[in-house]
Amino acid sequence: MNLKKYFCLGILLLSLLTGCKDSNMTGLAVKTQTQPTIERIIGQPSTAVDEISIGTFNIQIFGKKKREKDDVMKRLVDIVDDYDIIAIQEFRDKTEETVPYFLSKINEKEGNNYSVIASERLGRSSSKERYAFYYDNKRIEFLNLSFTFPDTEDLFEREPFIAYFKAKEGNFDFYLVNIHTKPDDVEKEIRNLAKVKAYILQKHPEDGDVIFLGDFNADGNYFNEESDVLGEQYFWAVPNDFDTTVARSDRTFDRIIFLKEFTLEDFAYKSGVDRFEKRWPELSYDEMKKISDHYPVWVKFRIDKDSQ
């Protein structure tokens, strides 16, 4: 009896290991799903009819001094108009003139028709910042909803800024959550993005496509990039091997994250870092640092698959 029992167990184990193709043998077939590999791109996003590009860019201390540098402003315009929509961090300007001024410079370029949605000045300290989304009106529609996360528990140095958009073609609509974390509180602030997600879905359950993007400071001494602080339900679309900073050290500070359940089906599996030396090989290291200490990063999403 025992010999027969062990023989049957052996047959069962062998079937499970080798995989059973007979659909009638219920419970023995092993189904595996492989996730496509992310196409890693160094450079700006290309234009595709069935995809949109979403970027994020920390433009270091973007205020009066930077906007008076004509060569830097021209390069910033050249960067932004390669994106269908891009989140910007680190506007520092008490007069609040830089956000609209930058829009005017973008639209001076022939063929451009961009708009901007921006937050108020945010931050606990006197060095406050504004977030902004610049988007191409030919490709993106703003759905008349933007707000700052009501941070009643003081979870964030700068409260995340949220806006709702859709691709003008196709059926992809989505929330973008713009954030610049405090270096000393990176893990705590990233973990609390789950509360931001919960708030958005509670108030606006009609769409689960919530995309977090910005300067997360998610590397180096600030953060263990191998940690799974948000859990397996989130997809980190900017890989850890991307260097997103101009400094000679290799750091992946800038990130784009979304919920697998709702948004993975829309992801085109294309991610990029828009390195200045790729665009302008003639620039010196010091000239690149005048633009910013961060590179833009971006992802592509399909506009024809959205079911949420």
Q: Mean pLDDT throughout 215-241?
A: 85
Same domain membership, residue 4 and residue 23: yes
Same domain, yes or no: 163 and 206: yes
Residue 179 is predicted with a pLDDT of 98
Instruction: Give 51's contacts (C-beta < 8 A, 6+ positions apart).
Output: 268, 270, 300, 301, 302, 303
Per-residue pLDDT reduced to its tens digit, 121-159? 999 988 899 999 999 999 999 999 999 999 999 999 999
Q: Which of 90, 180, 189, 225 is catalytic?
A: 180
Residue 94 sits in the same domain as residue 239 = yes
Return d(Cα 40, Cα 269) in angstroms, integer: 9
The pLDDT assigned to 19 comes to 45
20 & 108 share domain:
no
Shared-domain flag, residues 112 and 57: yes
Q: How far is CA 269 from CA 70, 130, 197, 226, in A?
A: 36, 30, 22, 20
Whether 224 shows a pLDDT value over 80: the answer reads: no
pLDDT at residue 307, rounded to an integer: 64
Q: Which residue has the tokens 């315009």?
A: 77
Residue at 162 is within a domain: yes
My answer on whether 214 and 86 are in the same domain is: yes
- Interhelix angle 70-80/98-108, rounded to 10 degrees, is 70
- The whole-angstrom separation of Cα 256 and Cα 188 is 17
**Residue range 249-267: mean pLDDT, rounded:** 94
* Mean pLDDT confidence for 83-102: 98
Q: Which of 51, 90, 129, 225 is catalytic?
A: 129
Q: Above 70 in pLDDT, residue 259? A: yes
Q: Which among 129, 69, 72 has a CA at the least distance from the CA of 99?
A: 129
DSSP secondary structure letters along 219-246: SGGG--TT--TT-TTEEE-S-TT---BS
Residue 1 has pLDDT above 70, yes or no: no
**Rounded to 5 degrees, what angle do the CA atoms 250, 175, 195 make?**
75
- Average pLDDT of the residues in 167-186: 96
Q: What is the pLDDT of residue 16?
A: 41
Number of domains observed in the structure of the chain = 2
Alpha helices in the chain (DSSP H): 2-18, 64-67, 70-80, 98-108, 186-191, 193-203, 260-263, 276-279, 285-291
Paired with 114 in beta bridges are 136
Q: How confident is the model at residue 34 (pLDDT cuts 50, 70, 90)?
A: low
Quick one: average pLDDT of 38-46? 94
Q: Give the span between the Cα atoms of 57 and 133, in whole angstroms.
A: 10
288 three-state secondary structure: helix
- Per the model's pLDDT, the better-predicted residue between 29 and 127 turns out to be 127
Strand duo 161-167 + 140-148: pairing? antiparallel
> Would you say 113 and 137 are in contact if contact means Cβ atoms under 8 Å apart?
yes
Same domain, 44 and 23: no
SS3 for 52? Answer: strand
Question: Does some domain include residue 190?
Answer: yes
The mean pLDDT value of the chain amounts to 89
**What's the whole-number mean pLDDT along residues 49-78?**
98
Composition of the chain by helix, strand, coil, percent to 5: 25, 30, 45
In which domain, by residue range, is 12 found?
1-32
**For residues 90-105, average pLDDT:** 98
Q: How far apart are CA 95 and CA 52, in angstroms?
A: 33
* Residue 274 counted as domain residue: yes
Mean pLDDT of 257-270: 96
Residue 307 lies in a domain: no
119 assigned to some structural domain: yes
**Active site (annotated) includes residue 204:** no
Identify the residue whose tokens are 């930058």.
102
Tell me the average pLDDT across 219-226: 74
State mean pLDDT over 70-74.
98
**CA separation for the pair 87, 175 (Å, rounded):** 12
Percent of the chain having pLDDT more than 90? 78
Give the pLDDT confidence score for residue 27 in this predicted structure: 38
**Same domain for 234 and 94:** yes
| Residues in Cβ contact with 306 at an 8 Å cutoff, skipping those fewer than 6 apart | 170, 171, 172, 173, 209, 265, 266
* Whether residue 44 is found in the same domain as residue 171: yes
| Catalytic site includes residue 129 | yes
Angle value at C-alpha 188, between 94 and 294, nearest 5 degrees:
50
pLDDT number for residue 229 = 84
| Mean pLDDT across 100-118 | 99
The answer to whether residue 5 scores a pLDDT higher than 80 is no
The verdict on 8 and 96 lying in the same domain is: no
Does 23 lie in the same domain as 131?
no
Query: What pTM value is reported for the model?
Result: 0.87
Q: How confident is the model at residue 297 (pLDDT cuts 50, 70, 90)?
A: very high
Q: With respect to residue 236, please indicate whether it lies within any of the assigned structural domains.
A: yes
Sequential DSSP letters for 149-164: ---TT---SS--EEEE
User: For the domain that residue 82 is a member of, what is the CATH number?
Assistant: 3.60.10.10
Share of the chain above pLDDT 70, in %: 87
Spatial separation of the C-alpha atoms in residues 268 and 281, rounded to whole Å: 28
133 and 53: one domain? Answer: yes
Query: Residue 249: its pLDDT value, please?
Result: 86
Query: Which is more confidently placed, 114 or 7?
Result: 114
The residue with greater pLDDT, 116 or 13, is 116
Inform me whether the pLDDT recorded for 66 exceeds 70. Answer: yes
Q: Is residue 7 part of a domain?
A: yes
Residue 308 lies in a domain: no
